[in-house]
Structure formats: structure tokens, C-alpha cells
Amino acid sequence: MKAIATTGWGLKPTLSLIETDAPGRLKADDVLVAVHAASVNPKDWKLNYNLAVAASPVMVKQLKPLFGDDLAGIVVDTGPNVSDFEIGDAVYGMDMRLRTASLAELTLIDQRRIAKKPENLSFTQAAAMPLAALTALQGLRKGKAEAGKKVLIIGASGGVGSFAVQIAKNLGLHVTGVCSGRNTDFVRELGADAVIDYTQGDYRHSAGEFDLVFDVTSYETPLTCAALLGKKGYFISTGGDGKSMLATPLYRLLGKKAGTVVVESYRRDLETLKAMVEAGSLTPVIDSVFTLAESEAAYNRSRSGRCRGKVVINVANA
Ligand SMILES: NC(=O)c1ccc[n+]([C@@H]2O[C@H](COP(=O)([O-])OP(=O)(O)OC[C@H]3O[C@@H](n4cnc5c(N)ncnc54)[C@H](OP(=O)(O)O)[C@@H]3O)[C@@H](O)[C@H]2O)c1
């Protein structure tokens, strides 16, 4: 089968299209999926597999050398414990703990990490969802998002942010999105009640107070957002660049509410998202679509930090 593998030792791994064996024997809870589409997440290019193996060969032994986490595709085989999925089912999901290896024509994934694909989405659209939409849902939940509360979403136009705005509206929150000027109309169209252009001055001291500040850029910390949080606000970060991971425990020592979301793939959450999509209140936004052979270009697009929604790679007919 065709797949994308990483080569090279630099901080920027090279992605190569290779011919490799199809996955081996299915474990009891495994589902074999013919992948139609996968999507790109910043974590893919922040971690160089080869460096990780060199640094910690035992820990990373289980990590698959093939790239890609999100997938949407068709079930082509099932392990003996699998009763909720049948050959021919269209599914979507991810297994981030071991890396799904979804940039491949076939991949194995645990049945607990997938759900049936939303009926009204193409495979390309469905593949855009799992990691980013689960992060948005779980981050809002961790920040005790509830109807009527005010949330500020920093990074509202990107992969996670474009889902967070829509999911927060689904949950009945008053949403203010932070993005650059070129994305303000887009974030309003996603449903935000108010939009702040971060290029027009330091809003962190002038935008008022919020019940929840959800920083999906991971550039901010509870300390840089102290004025936005007031006395009772909750700060949640996606923690991507590590700064807030250091500041969050300090902030908690001061008795404040802060946390980092670490996304997990649970079928019930994928089903919650599927229900929102099928009800018409959540739609994945696709920044750009590439073929498997164009994976390097797809990763470069993600590395640019300027994506509006998600970068998707169509795997089928590679
Ligand atoms: N902990 C976890 O489980 C988890 C899960 C998912 C993601 N993450 C992390 O979360 C971060 C975001 O992921 P993503 O997929 O959403 O990334 P992304 O799609 O690459 O985000 C790009 C977006 O960020 C916006 N942006 C850049 N600088 C900004 C700023 N100063 N203020 C506000 N918005 C800004 C850009 O908008 P403009 O072009 O308008 O600036 C663009 O729309 C990454 O660091 C990722 O590693 C962590």
C-alpha cells in the first residue's frame, strides 16, 4: 500500500511517499480502515519521529512511523471483539496516543477511537474533524462552559478555533473570537457574537472580563490573560508551546482556575460532534486539500500558522 513515512533527523522531518506492507493481524478491538482522507495537525510537525525514537527508544517503540492522526474511511475488516462496526461502514476518528498512521491507504484503529461518519459530510470534511473538534469540545468542557457564560476564544479562525466558536454557540455561550483582521468576517460567520482583531492593539487589557478564556493558539498564559479573567475566570490552553504548561500550575497555586486540555479520542465525544453536524449546527471548515503525494506541501501550509480551518489530505486514489 502507499503511505507517508518520515525521513531525516532535523527538527523539520521530510515526508516521503513509500510503498509498504499493509497492517498485520488485527487485535481483538481493531478495525481495519481503508482511509479516504486524513488531516494535518500542528503536533505532526512539532514532533520528529526519528528524534523521538533516538531520545527514548523504549517509550516510542509503539509509536507508528507512519504519519497522520485523523481519518475518515470505510471499514474493511474487524477484530473478534468488534460488534458496533461492520465491513462497509463509513467511520471517522483518531488514536492520538499511538498515532493513527492515517496517511496510508489502510490503517488499524481501536474501535473505541472511532464513530460512524456524520451522514451529511464527505470523507474530506469528516477527516477534518476528530483531533481539532475533540480538542475544542473537551477544552470548553474542562473550562466549565455553560449556557449564558461569556467565552473568549483566542485563535478563533484556525483548526481548533473554528470548531470551538461553533461548539461554544451550540452550548449556548456568548462568544467573542480573537483573530487577525483578514479573518474577522469569517469568525463572525462561524457564529461569534463579537470579534477582536489582535493586530489592532493589546486587547488583553481592554476587552473586559470573561467567564472562560480558551487560548487555542497556546501563545498566552493565565498571567498574560489575568485582566481578561478577573477574579473568577477560567483559563484553558491547548498548551502547544509549553509556556502555559509552566504558568498554569503557578496560577493554580494562587487559587485561580486554569488548565491545559490534552485531547483524547472517545467514541461518545465523536458521536456528540456527529449529532451537532447532522443537526446543521457544526460544519468543518476546510482551508485546503492536498493529495497523498503532496503531503509535504500540506504540512508546509500548516507550518505557516495562517490556516483558516483545517488542511486535509485525500488518501484514496493516491
Ligand atoms: N493539547 C492538545 O491536545 C492540542 C490539541 C490540538 C492542538 N493543540 C495545539 O493548539 C495549537 C493550535 O492548533 P490549531 O490546529 O488550531 O492550529 P492552526 O490551525 O495552525 O492555527 C492557525 C490559526 O492561528 C491563528 N493565530 C495565529 N496567531 C494568532 C494570535 N496571536 N492570536 C490569535 N490567533 C492567532 C491564525 O489566525 P490569523 O492568520 O488570523 O493570525 C490561524 O487561523 C497548536 O499549538 C497545537 O499544537 C493542542
Same domain as 83, residue 138 = no
Q: Has residue 273 been placed in a domain?
A: no
Q: Has residue 109 been placed in a domain?
A: yes
Same domain as 255, residue 214 = yes
The CATH number for 211's domain is: 3.40.50.720
The CATH number for 44's domain is: 3.90.180.10
Same domain as 137, residue 108 = no
Same domain as 103, residue 85 = yes
The domain in which residue 224 lies consists of 132-260
Ligand 1 proximal residues by C-beta, below 6 Å: 41-43, 131-132, 135, 154-155, 157-161, 178-180, 183, 198, 216-219, 238-240, 261-263, 302, 305-308
Residue 311 DSSP SS3: strand
Distance in angstroms between the alpha carbons of the first and the last residue of the chain: 10
Where would I find the H helices in 70-190?
123-127, 130-142, 159-170, 184-190
Q: What is the pLDDT along the chain (318 residues), one digit of tens a residue?
A: 999 987 665 556 678 899 999 998 999 999 999 999 999 999 877 765 555 656 655 555 555 566 788 999 999 999 999 999 999 999 999 997 667 889 999 999 999 999 999 999 999 999 999 999 999 999 999 999 999 999 999 999 999 999 999 999 999 999 999 999 999 999 999 999 999 999 999 999 999 999 999 999 989 999 999 999 999 999 999 986 667 777 888 888 888 899 999 999 999 999 999 999 999 999 999 999 999 999 999 999 999 999 999 999 999 975
pLDDT in tens, 41-55: 998 777 655 556 566
Q: Which of 244, 260, 276 is a domain's end point?
A: 260
Distances (CA, A) of 95 to 18, 56, 72, 98, 267: 22, 20, 12, 6, 11
* Ligand 1 atom with the shortest distance to the CA of 181: 40
Domains in the chain: how many in total? 2
30 CA distance to ligand 1 centroid (A)?
32
Q: Has residue 118 been placed in a domain?
A: yes
Same domain as 242, residue 199 = yes
Same domain as 168, residue 251 = yes
Angle between helices 267-278 and 159-170 (to 10 degrees): 70
Residue 1 burial (CB < 10 Å; 0-12/13-18/19+)? middle
E runs forming strands in 87-219? 90-93, 106-110, 114-116, 150-154, 174-179, 194-197, 212-215
254 CA distance to ligand 1 centroid (A)?
28
Same domain as 23, residue 122 = yes
Query: Do 4 and 17 contact (CB within 8 A), yes or no?
Result: yes
